[in-house]
Amino acid sequence: MIKALHIEHYALIDELDIEFNHGFSVITGETGAGKSIILGAIGLLLGERADLKAIKAGEKRCVIEAEFDLSAYGMEGFFDENDLDFNGSECIIRRELTSSGKSRAFINDTPVNLSQLKEIGDTLIDIHSQHKNLLLNEENFQLSVLDILAGNADQLNSYREHFEYYRGLVKALNQAIANSKQNHDEEDYLRFQLDQLADAQLKEGEQEQLEEEQELLSHAEEIKGSLYDACNMLTSDGEDDTISRLKRSVSTLNSIGSVSHEAEELASRIDACYIELKDIASTIESLADATEYDPQRLQQIDERLNTIYSLQKKHHVTTVEELLSLQASLEEKLGLMDCSEEHIEQLKAKIDEAYKVVADIATQLSQKRREAKAMVETKMKETLIQLGMPNVMFEVEMTDKAELDATGNDKVTFQFSANKNVPMQPISEIASGGEIARVMLSLKALIAGAVKLPTIIFDEIDTGVSGSIAEKMALIMQEMGNGGRQVISITHLPQIAALGTTHYKVYKEESLFATTTHITRLNQSQRIEEIAHMLSGSALTEAAISNAKELLKI
């Protein structure tokens, strides 16, 4: 439950600190005094989106902080899962907004994201505002009420997990069937492409080797002539070729080697050149003899390269390796096409198996819902009769859906009639505003007994009711506040305000420079005066004070 709330520089609030008690508390104040501002601040603590306009004019940031007592609610798991400090009882949640647009959130001084804030907020506080009465128009809300009271949380989670698996299989089957049809339409073309590539019998490195050989054969005569010329320059017959001159140089230098050590070394170096050039000349001669123009081989190479170039152009690639990769890809794709029917049959078998599991869990859910249905109808009638509907009829209608969905096989509609001889109809079509308020309070009272929620805040749930009915609604909220739960009602009705264990008043103060909102806890005399004003308006009469004391049982 909320132990204390601190609000700083939020909307019309300059700085506000208030402590709360367990049990049934009420908050009153004139329209526009700022009750909704306080709810808005609490909403930020629960992970709602921030609006920079909420920062008080002229301030750089606003801070909302609340201290909670969680000692009775077994929430250790949340703190362990999110690696947050927790002493077993106290939890402090803080939200900060800055005028620069930054929003920060903390749980026990550890920064957290808004999803974590929302997760813990959903387990700490339930704010029921007037617009939530519209939930009665929603089928899923009515079904969720039945599930809560049936204790279906674990079974529903199991169902949803299996249903998502089943739905994923159905999606995969539809995709596989679509792919199979598409593949069938393009199979012939893909197979034609693969046959072309396979017939080409491509090899890695083949293109570079052929292009090199093509270049040689295309210039064979030129190459052969140049090789012979080079060889002749080195080894032509006679005394004037390069090799002969080197040989004579060696002999000449050797003749003076006995008297010149340098000449002997030079002779040795030239001799090495002589041997190397003689070997080079021999290699050139052999290469020249081996070089032949072969027009038939050149034609074969041209044809082979034309085949490769044609395939590369067709498939928008530049290398044989890319063509081979494409060939492998086509083989794999056609292989998958060949086994697509088998894959489809396997998916169908899995779907049948998954559907049996989902349908079985859905049947179990339906059974538990039907068991809870009788209890809900009985309890709702009892409570609504207490709230001034002696002829009320309330029924939870369950029908089968056309097909299973994420919530199972049941369509739930709350059927309602408040008057004699008026047949029941869906509650959203027949109930008045005051009747819906009473139905929602009755449902909340039922749910509160099934869900361990620390704090429930009712924001003017008394809309459309008055007098003794308001008092009976207050008694229900008072009963909900027993056993350590914290119930807070924001109300304009004195009958409800008088039954609060603790009474807070929200009011505005005007100054020359600003308007500020405050909240204060009322003592007994202040409560008498506040309720008297709620009874009589701005003029405080003795009769109103007497009525206020009577309501307060003083």
Question: H/E/C letters for each residue in 371-428?
Answer: HHHHHHHHHHHHHHHHCCCCCCEEEEEEEEEEEEECCEEEEEEEEEECCCCCCCEEHH
What 3-state class would DSSP assign to 61? strand
Q: How confident is the model at residue 180 (pLDDT cuts 50, 70, 90)?
A: confident
* pLDDT for 497: 92
Residue 61: count of CB within 10 angstroms of its CB? 16
Residue 350 structure tokens: 């899995």
Q: How far is it, in rounded angstroms, from Cα 219 to Cα 294?
A: 11
Q: Is the pLDDT of residue 350 over 60?
A: yes
Amino acid at 307: T
Q: How far does CA 211 lie from the centroid of its chain? A: 56
Contact 39, 490 (CB under 8 A): yes
What distance in Å separates the CA atoms of residue 70 and residue 525, rounded to the nearest whole number? 33
* pLDDT computed for residue 369 by the predictor: 94
Q: Residue 349 pLDDT > 90, yes or no?
A: yes
Beta strands in 108-208 (DSSP E): 110-112, 125-128
In our burial notation (b when 16+ CB lie closer than 10 A, e otherwise), range 519-543 reads: beebeeeebbbbbbbbbbeeeeeee
pTM of the complete model: 0.66
What pLDDT, on the 0 to 100 scale, is given for residue 121? 86
110-112 vs 61-69, strand pairing mode? unpaired
pLDDT above 90 (res 502): yes
Average pLDDT on 326-331 reads 88
Q: How is the beta sheet containing 425-426 ordered, strand by strand?
A: 393-405, 408-417, 425-426
Q: What is the mean pLDDT of the chain?
A: 86
- Tell me, rounded to whole angstroms, the distance of Cα 378 from its chain centroid: 41
pLDDT at position 137: 61
Residue 441 burial by CB count (10 A; 0-12/13-18/19+): exposed, middle or buried?
Answer: buried
- Segment 145-167 shows an average pLDDT of 92
pLDDT at 237 over 80: no
State how far the Cα of 213 lies from the Cα of 526, in Å rounded to an integer: 109
Amino acid at 302: D
Largest CA distance in the chain: 151
Residue 471's closest CA among 446, 497, 448?
497
pLDDT value of residue 262: 86
> Quick one: angle between helices 206-218 and 220-235, nearest 10?
70
- Burial readout 274-284 (b: 16 or more C-beta within 10 A, e: otherwise): beeeeeebeeb
Q: Give residue-wise pLDDT tens across range 416-473.
A: 998 888 899 988 788 777 888 888 888 888 887 777 778 888 888 877 777 788 889 8
Please enumerate in sequence order all residues whose Cβ is within 8 A of that of 375, keeping only pairs 6 or more positions apart, or say none. Answer: 149
50 CB-side CA count, 13 A: 24
Dist. CA 397–CA 414, nearest whole Å? 6
Q: How far apart are CA 56 and CA 61, in angstroms?
A: 8
* Residue 487: predicted pLDDT: 92
Contact 366, 447 (CB under 8 A): no
What CA–CA distance (Å, rounded) separates 517 from 529? 20
217 CB burial (10 A radius; 0-12, 13-18, 19+)? buried
pLDDT band, very low/low/confident/very high, at 162 (cuts 50, 70, 90): very high
**pLDDT (0 to 100) of residue 461:** 81
Token pair for 493: 């009705």
User: Which position has the higher pLDDT, 554 or 491?
Assistant: 491
pLDDT of 204 over the 70 cut: yes
Greater model confidence, 280 or 356 = 356
Q: Are 95 and 44 in contact (CB under 8 A)?
A: yes
When mean pLDDT is compared across 223-227, 334-338, 527-531, the lowest value belongs to: 334-338
- Phi-psi label, residue 121: left if phi above 0, alpha if psi -120 to 50, beta otherwise: alpha
**What are 490-500's pLDDT values in tens digits?**
998 999 999 99
Quick one: what percent of the chain has pLDDT higher than 90?
35
Question: Is residue 81 classed exposed, middle or buried when 0-12, 13-18 and 19+ CB atoms within 10 A define those classes?
Answer: exposed
- Residue 26 CB burial class (10 angstroms; 0-12, 13-18, ≥19): buried
Q: Is the pLDDT of residue 511 over 90?
A: no
> For residue 378, what are the β-bridge partners?
none
> DSSP letters of 67-133?
EEE-TTS--HHHHHHTT----SSEEEEEEEEETTS-EEEEETTEEE-HHHHHHHHHHHEEEE-GGGG
Overall average pLDDT of the 389-410 stretch: 92
Give the integer Cα–Cα distance in Å for 248 and 233: 16
Which band of pLDDT confidence, cut at 50, 70 and 90, is reported for residue 132?
A: low
Range scoring the smallest mean pLDDT among 53-62, 231-240, 505-514? 231-240
Sheet containing strand 13-19, strands side by side: 13-19, 2-10, 61-69, 90-98, 103-107, 110-112
Examine the pLDDT at 365 and tell me if it is beyond 70.
Answer: yes
Least confident of 37-46, 369-378, 464-473, 517-526: 464-473
Average pLDDT estimate for 156-173: 94
